[in-house]
């Protein structure tokens, strides 16, 4: 499961080199764990402050996009700030054997767990050998 990344040379924002129609939005890349099980892949992402309605998980053209919007407002006036809650955004390229129709997502305590099952035909199949 390779992550689709843009080469850093393209990301360099040299003024006047490229026209932009939208303001460059600031976002956080959430840390993720990805591991493989017998039935498929599991993606676990830390998305603190994101509620169910602010979460957007979609698959298009074999690319999984995670987007989380925080509606969280900190109380009072800040004294000391170590973090800022911005929107979360991350994309992954999915392998062909993932069945996009059957992806299941669960959000609990700010942690998103995605289960990406493999297509039936991609699962290993044991072939019985008969000995005569």
Partner 1 sequence: MPVWNAFSDMEAMRREMERRFSDAWPGHGRAPRVAFLPGRGARQYPLVNVSEDEQNVYVEALAPGVEPKSLDLSVMQGALTIKGEKPGLAQVSAEAYHRNERAAGRFVRTVELPLEVDAGRVSADYQNGLLLVTLPKAESARPRQVPITVR
**Residue 80 near partner 1 by CB under 8 A:** yes
Does residue number 24 form part of the binding site for partner 1 (CB under 8 A)?
no
d(CA 44, CA 115): 9
Q: N- to C-terminal Cα distance for the chain?
A: 42
31 binds partner 1 (CB under 8 A): yes
Task: In whole angstroms, give the CA distance from residue 6 to residue 98.
Answer: 23
Q: Does 6 bind partner 1 (CB under 8 A)?
A: no
Quote the CA–CA distance of 113 and 104 in Å, as a whole number.
8
| 26 interacts with partner 1 by CB under 8 A | no
Residue 47 · residue 31 · CB < 8 Å: no
In the set 4, 72, 102, 123, which binds partner 1 (CB under 8 A)?
72
Out of 7, 16, 78, 124, the residue judged to bind partner 1 by CB under 8 A: 78
Q: C-alpha dihedral over 114, 52, 48, 12, to 10 degrees?
A: 80
Is 44 among the residues that bind partner 1 (CB under 8 A)? yes
Structure tokens at 107: 């959000």
Task: Name residues contacting partner 1, limited to 89-128 (CB under 8 A).
Answer: 109-111
12 binds partner 1 (CB under 8 A): no
Point out which residues bind partner 1 (CB under 8 A): 1, 31-37, 41, 44-51, 72, 74-83, 85, 109-111
């Amino acid at each position: 499961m390779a992550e689709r990344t843009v080469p850093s040379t393209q990301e360099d924002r040299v003024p006047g080199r490229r026209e932009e129609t939208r303001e460059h939005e600031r976002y956080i890349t959430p840390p993720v764990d990805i591991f493989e099980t017998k039935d498929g892949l599991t993606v676990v992402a830390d998305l603190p402050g994101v509620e169910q309605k602010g979460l957007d998980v979609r698959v298009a053209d074999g690319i999984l996009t995670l987007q989380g919007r925080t509606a969280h407002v900190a109380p009072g006036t800040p004294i000391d700030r170590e973090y800022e809650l911005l929107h979360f955004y991350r994309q992954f390229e999915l392998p062909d054997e993932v069945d996009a129709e059957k992806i299941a997502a669960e959000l609990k305590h700010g942690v998103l767990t995605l289960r990406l099952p493999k297509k039936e035909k991609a699962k290993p199949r044991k072939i019985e050998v008969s000995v005569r």
